[in-house]
Amino acid sequence: MIRLKWKLTGMYLLISALGFFLAGVGITVELKGPLAPSLIGIFLTSMVLTAPLVHFIARGFSKRIDELNMGTKSLIAEMPKGFSGAGDELSELGENIYLVTRKLQSTIREVSQESNKMMAILAGMLEGVVALDHIGRIVLLNRAAGMMFGADEAEVRGNYLTNLVRDHGLGVRLLWVLEKSESTQYEFSLAGRVLRVLMSPVVSSQVVQGAVAVFQDITEIRRLEQIRTEFVANVSHELRTPLTSIKGFVETLLDGADEDPGVRERFLHIIHDETGRLQRLIEDLLTLSHLENKQKGGAGTASAAGAYNKVAQVLIPLARAKNIKLRVEVPEELPRVGMGEELLSQVFLNLMENGIKYTPPGGKVWLEVEESGGGILILVGDTGHGIPQASVSRIFERFYRVDKARSREMGGTGLGLSIVKHIVEQAKGKLQVESELGRGTVFKIWVPQETEDLPG
């Protein structure tokens, strides 16, 4: 194997010898003038002999250098096919560049694939993810975080997180993570939402290089917790009131009040009424629970006329007892709707019973049902006290009462309208209420006719 240094040495010796030869010829010519005409021939001969040699050597070096250039360019381009071997250092260097290139390209490909996977995962996360450097500047921001903060990665990259989220507590906890290298979590409000952030340090060689913050939107969770808390408080209050009354009258009877037949009978009637109130409350709670879990009524369809007939025997005596004029117009030929007949009966019962309860004697309560827009339109109206405009939007809330004292006096549980709302929404219907103080209230309900995909 002839190494490059020997090639260069031989080339140097050859050129030097040729130079000495030419110099000798020149001296000879100078000393022997008659030989001058041969000088041109000697010069041309030297050119002819050396030009191909120099050209061959230059072409070889040019080819090798081109290969090395291709090899270095391949670090950022396609992988080279390899180098022609001549057994010298240039060949060995070219082969090493080739091998390094292959290794680098393989590593870059793997890193790129892993980066693409990570970005795809981050883009698909519901949680907002923000990567920070060692002083709290944003390095990476996924799509969910951008939506939470109303910004994209290009806009906020390099900015401080505390400039994006102006919350003092968040800044304090981020400083704790970066300085103490400890994870922490924090809840705060931003633009009407409740966010929870989990922050953890990124440590390399026992030095904090930055932090990762994961943001979760827990607004709905906190809202449901608030509803649950209010619901438990309301249920406890509604149960405690009749139980306290029952307990008090029973204790009075046990203390000797039962010896007076009149007192005993009056107390027992009160206990009976309070027990019925408890029963209705529990039944309404169970009904509401089943509706929220889509269990009440099951699959099936309902006829408006058939649903009303099931509750007519309850409503007619109530209306007569209060001298309320009851008008009902429910044609038999109406299309059937996609809900259980029990549910439609409960809608009629709850709305009309409310109308009878809150309408003064001599007033009117009516029910009208007609075909409308691929379903049926139900109108339930009364000439009662009416509902204040401030309360119209809240009457479907559980346990909400416009007049709490009057509602409890009449035995209401505060759940009837909430049940109606759940039934109508479950059937993909629409519910509307119009009311005017002193003139009465009208409930308008549209329910689509039966289809195969309607819930039961």
Q: What is the pLDDT of residues 273-301, one digit of tens each?
A: 788 878 877 877 787 777 777 654 445 78
The percent of residues in the chain predicted with pLDDT above 70, rounded, is 72
> Is a pLDDT exceeding 70 seen at residue 14?
no
Global pTM reads 0.53
pLDDT reading at 338 higher than 50: yes
Which of the two residues, 120 and 312, has the higher pLDDT score? 312
pLDDT band at 41 (very low <50, low <70, confident <90, very high): low
Indicate the CATH number for domain 297-456: 3.30.565.10
Q: Flag whether pLDDT at 444 surpasses 90.
A: yes
- The pLDDT value recorded for residue 7 is 58
Predicted confidence (pLDDT) at residue 404 exceeds the cutoff of 70: no
* Separation between Cα atoms, residue 48 and residue 96, nearest integer Å: 38
Mean pLDDT confidence for 368-395: 87
pLDDT for the residue numbered 271: 86
Q: CA–CA distance from 129 to each of 112, 202, 204, 249, 326 (Å)?
A: 20, 14, 20, 62, 62
Closest CA to 402 of 434, 437, 378, 430: 437
13-29: string of b/e by CB count within 10 Å (b at 16+)?
Answer: eeeeeeeeeeeebeeeb
Lowest mean pLDDT among 69-83, 196-210, 221-235, 366-380: 69-83
Return the exposure string of 131-162: e unless at least 16 CB atoms fall within 10 Å of the residue's CB, then b: bbbeebbbebbbbbbbebbebeeeebeeebbb
Tokens of residue 151, six digits: 């910004």
Mean pLDDT, the chain, as a whole number?
77
Look at residue 258 and tell me whether its pLDDT is greater than 50.
yes
Amino acid, res. 197: V
The answer to whether 426 touches 342, Cβ cutoff 8 Å, is no
pLDDT band at 365; cut points 50, 70, 90: very high
Could you tell me if residue 354 is left (phi over 0), alpha (psi between -120 and 50 degrees) or otherwise beta? alpha
pLDDT digits (tens, 9 = 90+) for 149-205: 887 777 788 888 888 888 888 888 888 888 888 888 898 888 888 889 899 998 888
CATH topology of domain 125-217: Beta-Lactamase (3.30.450)
More confident of the two residues 364 and 48: 364
222-293: CATH class: mainly alpha
Model confidence at 379, in pLDDT bands (50, 70, 90)? very high
Q: Do 138 and 157 meet the contact criterion of CB atoms below 8 Å apart?
A: yes
Rounded Cα distance, 410 and 413, in Å:
9
Task: Return the domain boundaries, the chain.
Answer: 4-103, 125-217, 222-293, 297-456
The C-alpha atoms of residue 201 and residue 132 are separated, in whole angstroms, by 9
Confidence of residue 453 (pLDDT cuts 50, 70, 90): very low
What Cα–Cα distance (Å) separates residue 277 from each residue in 78, 402, 410? Answer: 83, 19, 10
Give the pLDDT band (50/70/90) at residue 87: low
Grade residue 72 by pLDDT with cuts at 50, 70 and 90.
low
Q: What is the mean pLDDT of residues 391-404?
A: 75
**Which secondary-structure segment (H or E) carries 433?**
strand 430-436
Average confidence (pLDDT) over 108-125:
75
In this predicted structure, the answer to whether residue 16 has a pLDDT above a threshold of 60 is: no
Local structure of 456: helix, strand or coil: coil
With a cut of 80, say whether residue 408 has pLDDT above it.
no
Query: In the prediction, which pLDDT does 113 show?
Result: 78
Contacts of 352 (CB under 8 A, 6+ apart): 311, 315, 326, 365, 367, 380
Sheet with 193-204: list strands edge to edge. 138-141, 128-133, 207-217, 193-204, 184-190
The mean pLDDT value for 224-239 works out to: 78
